[in-house]
A and B are shown apart, each in its own frame.
Chain A
Amino acid sequence: MNSENLPGLYLHIPFCRGKCAYCGFYSRTDLSLIPDFLKSLRAEMTLYREAFSRIDTVYLGGGTPSILGASHLEVILDAVRRQFVIADDAEITVELNPGDLTARALRTLRALGVNRLTLGCQSFDDAVLAFLGRRHSAGQCRDAILAVRAAGFDDLGLDLIYGLPAPGGDPGTAFRGWLASLQTALSFQPEHLSCYQLTLEADTPLAATLALSPLSLPDDDLSARYFLTTSERLEAAGYRHYEVSNFACDDDHRARHNRKYWDHTPYLGLGPSAHSFDGTRRWWNPRDFDAWVGALRDGMRPIAGEEILTLDQLRLEALFLGLRTREGIDMEAYRKRYGFDLCAERGDKIAQLAAAGLVRADGYRFSPTRRGLVCADFLARFLS
């Protein structure tokens, strides 16, 4: 896609109005910390401007980036432009929450060069939104989508969640409810869809609730049905299921920033809990606002931990990340980059997977089928 493989920049905006029941990402609800955050974030940029001078994707995630007012977003994006060289055709994405969108903020984002928005709808069913602890309604989702379109954005992604515990113990109702939400989402013709199966993150209210409740998440067989049906419906509607949880209306609308995570392109993550990677080394910031601010106040890179990947580790990552994408793995490119000939060393195993209908082998490339994607972790274990 980008022959130069320029790094991407991720900015973690660690603020939310409240915590959603299922979410394990780091965020704070004390909005009075925002000025400190902005100051520290700018300080952090200056510490990395030389190591990551040129970038071609910017991604504001969180947390809730849209909790920041237009002026704050302007401060951040201005700083980014001053500290880094951004490619002309860069993808600049901001995650938005349907509940706190204003026409003015959208206009500002347009003016600042943001060209891709993702909207955390999660569902078009108010009962589901309440269960997840979201603070917006299905109506607000619809309004937000229309507002985004009205502001002139032509690259919109919607985030959706499926696989909730079935209230009243009827998995059929929950399943049909999901398909209805999906249908509603499709009616807005978003360029991109992320459909995540609900996963229990440790130390979240939802995990605690479910531990004490008779409700349970769908079993493997039902999960597979959710996954496969979602994939079939969206592909029938013309979307391409290009990664385990991601769908795009065409190849050009695949998320360029996320793709860097999956093909070992370097990325710089700024803000509390953000992760960075330079090709061999991965490091991460503290999951603690004060520790992050403190280090930056002392002029230090706020690094909480790091690992330098061995060749074996890089190979393993490239294998399981590649197997999560529909493109799969180009074995020739893999051999050149990681010095391991999958074709020679794993050819018989790949043939077994192909015979079981889990991968498609085509010359030097092998890629998971739809049934293969739903057990991508197994594929990686089997071939590692």
Chain B
Amino acid sequence: MKHIRNFSIIAHIDHGKSTLADRLIQYTGVVDARNFQDQILDNMDIERERGITIKSQAIALPYRAADGRDYTLNLIDTPGHVDFTYEVSRSLASCEGVLLLVDAAQGVQAQTLANLYLALENDLAIIPVINKIDLPSADIERVKAQIDSELGLDPETAILCSAKEGTGIESILEAVVRQIPPPVGDPESPLAALIFDAKYDAFRGTVIHCRLFAGTLKAGDVIRFHYNDATYRVEEVGRFRLQREKADALRAGDVGYIIAGVKTVSDVRTGDTITHEDRPCAAPLPGFKEIKPVVFASIYPIASDDYEDLAVSLEKYKLNDGSFVYEKDSSAALGQGFRCGFLGLLHLDVVQERLEREYDLSIILSVPSVRYRFIMKDGASGWVDNPMHYPDPLSIIKSEEPFIRAVMMLPDRYLGTVMKLCMEKRGVNSQMNYLSPGRVELTYEMPLAEVIYDFYDRFKSVTQGYGSFDYDLIDYRESNLVLLDILVNGEKVDALSQIVHRERARARGVQACDRLKDEIPRQMFKIAIQGAIGGEIISRSTISAFRKDVTAKCYGGDISRKRKLLEKQKKGKKRMKMIGNVSIPQSAFLAVLKSDTD
């Protein structure tokens, strides 16, 4: 155990976490340069394309240190987006230390700080690393000053590195060995293993990723999940190389996997404790939290014949994503579908993309919503996350919506515009804190519904990319809500309805009509788009009929070209939903929430 180190890399998005992970893997020779594919740990296409890690990954790096001894360094990669903060915290709970990566040009950002707090909560050793020192815009002294003043860490311990060019890698590995304590825990005690992730394997079922804090686990043992008391017989245990590597046993201090005939990933809860059925540990490991979706939207197949395919695909998808929930739903405008819950909008985007890409489905998502609480005249109260189930307004006594605490870090020259944005988003109780001359930490309490869609994009744009943002859900607060409906040629499209704050309703109605005008292509007749509250029309836009849509020439060689274009457009047509006699593109449903200032 003395020769094991369990660590994570934490960083603000784009500070180079995956690239550094790649260099560490390369340096320790787990994979030779020939077979090297950039960002090995991000093994989903979407992760690689977006440069965001969505799932946790683990890998054991063999390393002979300067002291001549051989070490196993377990690197646990963590998701890099605020939607997945809880997953990050559980991955960190599996470690004794972290590399806190800071971009030499951008310096400390909101997620750097949020991740630092998570590491401190878990009592981890923290090694600051300044990455991207090769950049012309790198300003190492400034970043060191921020590490001192904003993170409260000793800047002289910071390791300078360029993951891209491979400099500083050895110093980092040495620091991991020397500064991160080896795991402690008694292999003879009752088993206590922390689940930090789970993946689905088509042949083996769920593969549980875990960290053993006490005890020993081997194939044939019967284990019990603390959360639901479910028991399973262990088929295989092992450690992570690039692939899974079977082992005789996992012992206290180890990071590894368990295969135990668990059918779906959702049978496993990240953060739960695994122990032995016959000799359980006295108490579960601390910090378990059941994660709940915060953003909801319905998914419908564009062609109603595809409903069964969608049902099967969601079931398959769910096998691999324990935080995704769904149930049956139906819409007057869009037919049979499913109401789904997501951890955030990135999660929603990822699910949508994977359904389309991996399962070849054309789907429509309704306008995303948060979950509201209504207290009715008869004393009953209920949760509503679907505008279609908005209660009768006359019977509502009180409505409540979820609030978040948003923490933003930005150069103070953007303070004015950001505060204006936050006010526009109904932000309250602001606090401001100068971190260092010129840099401000700004805190606001805001309704989640206001932040959900385009807040982050607009924040990025008004701060020209220099601002960073992180948030926590705090509580539910009373709010004056109304249901905003959208009518297309007089027909209500329930999937476009939104629950909005009364004072913002008119502006949101105008915005929705304008966005739909941009998104819906001209058709053979005039289309009227209206926003309505109750029976009252509050906004309107009109799409005039198209006038000309024909190519002038069509002779010998033009015919194939023209046909190919039509074939392509036919595929695009599949992404349009007919509502009445109007075709509405898939993009329109998400666009209504976006303001036109971007």
Contact = CB atoms under 8 A, between A and B. Distances in A.
Contacts of A244: 550-552, 554
Chain B interface size band reads 20 to 34
A16 B569 CA distance: 36
Interface string B554-579: 11110110110011011001000000
Contacts of A376: 549-550
A282 B560 contact: yes
Contact of A377 (B525, B547, B550, B570): B550
B554 A274 contact: no
A227 B557 contact: no
A384 interface: yes
A282 B553 CA distance: 18
B563 A313 contact: yes
Interface in A273-313: 273-277, 282, 284, 307, 313
Nearest to B523: A378
A380 B566 contact: yes
B581 to A, nearest CB: 7
Interface in B213-253: none
Contacts of A275: 556-557, 559-560
Contacts of B428: none
A383 B550 CA distance: 15
Interface stretch (A27-35, A182-190, A317-325, A330-338): A317-325
Interface in B77-119: none
Interface in A176-218: 196-199
Nearest to A319: B566
Interface string A328-366: 000000000000000000000000110010100000000
Contacts of A105: none
A245 B551 CA distance: 9
A378 B555 contact: no
A207 B573 CA distance: 29
Contacts of A375: 524, 546-550
Contacts of A274: 556-557
A377 B560 contact: no
Nearest to A287: B557
A320 B566 CA distance: 9
A356 B548 contact: no
Nearest to A196: B552
B548 A220 contact: yes
A319 B170 CA distance: 67
A384 B548 contact: no
A139 B581 CA distance: 52
Contacts of A324: 550, 554
Contacts of B573: 381
A223 interface: yes
Chain A interface size band reads 35 or more
B89 to A, nearest CB: 51
Interface string B571-595: 0010000000100000000000000
A88 interface: no
Nearest to A26: B557
A224 interface: yes
Nearest to B569: A381
A320 B562 contact: yes
A156 to B, nearest CB: 19
A242 interface: no
Interface stretch (A46-54, A129-137, A261-269): A261-269
A224 B550 CA distance: 10
Contacts of A321: 554, 559
A229 interface: no
Given A307-B560, A381-B566, A220 B554 contact: no
Contacts of A225: 547
Contact of B552 (A245, A317, A356, A358): A245
A374 B555 contact: no
Interface in B535-554: 546-554
Contacts of A89: none
Nearest to B583: A382
Contacts of A276: 556
A187 to B, nearest CB: 24
B551 A374 contact: no
Given A220-B548, A244-B550, A375-B549, A261 B556 contact: yes
A221 B552 CA distance: 16
Given A284-B557, A320-B566, A378-B524, A220 B547 contact: yes
Nearest to B554: A324
Given A317-B559, A358-B524, A384 B554 contact: no
A173 B560 CA distance: 37
Given A221-B547, A227-B548, A273-B557, A381 B562 contact: no
Interface in A216-250: 220-221, 223-225, 227, 244-245
A267 B556 contact: yes
Nearest to A380: B566
Given A10-B556, A317-B563, A378-B524, A352 B581 contact: yes
A223 B549 CA distance: 9
A375 B573 CA distance: 17
A375 B548 CA distance: 5
Contacts of A277: 556
A178 to B, nearest CB: 14
Contacts of B549: 220, 374-378
Given A199-B552, A282-B559, A220 B546 contact: yes
A275 B556 CA distance: 6
Contacts of A220: 522, 546-549
A225 B548 CA distance: 9
A284 B522 CA distance: 36
A269 B560 CA distance: 14
A384 B546 contact: no
A356 B525 contact: yes
A90 interface: no
Contacts of A198: 552
Nearest to B556: A275
A276 B567 CA distance: 21
A258 B546 contact: no
Contacts of A77: none
Contacts of B553: 196, 199, 245
B425 to A, nearest CB: 37
Contacts of A317: 559, 563
Contacts of A273: 557
B555 A258 contact: yes
Nearest to A384: B570
Contacts of A353: 524
Nearest to A312: B567
A128 interface: no
A50 to B, nearest CB: 21
Contacts of A197: 552
A269 B522 CA distance: 38
Nearest to A269: B556
B524 A261 contact: no
Contacts of A313: 563, 567
A319 to B, nearest CB: 9
B569 to A, nearest CB: 6
A316 interface: yes
A374 B569 contact: no
A373 interface: yes
Contacts of B552: 196-199, 244-245
A165 B226 CA distance: 74
Contact of A320 (B522, B524, B563): B563
For the complex of A and B, 4 pairs with smallest distance between CB atoms: A224-B547, A275-B556, A375-B549, A224-B548
Given A245-B552, A307-B560, A358-B524, 20 more contacts: A196-B552, A196-B553, A197-B552, A199-B551, A199-B552, A220-B547, A220-B548, A244-B552, A274-B556, A275-B557, A275-B559, A284-B557, A313-B567, A317-B559, A320-B566, A324-B554, A374-B549, A377-B549, A377-B566, A381-B570
17 contacts: A198-B552, A225-B547, A244-B550, A262-B554, A267-B556, A273-B557, A275-B559, A277-B556, A282-B559, A313-B563, A316-B563, A317-B563, A320-B562, A320-B563, A324-B550, A374-B550, A375-B547
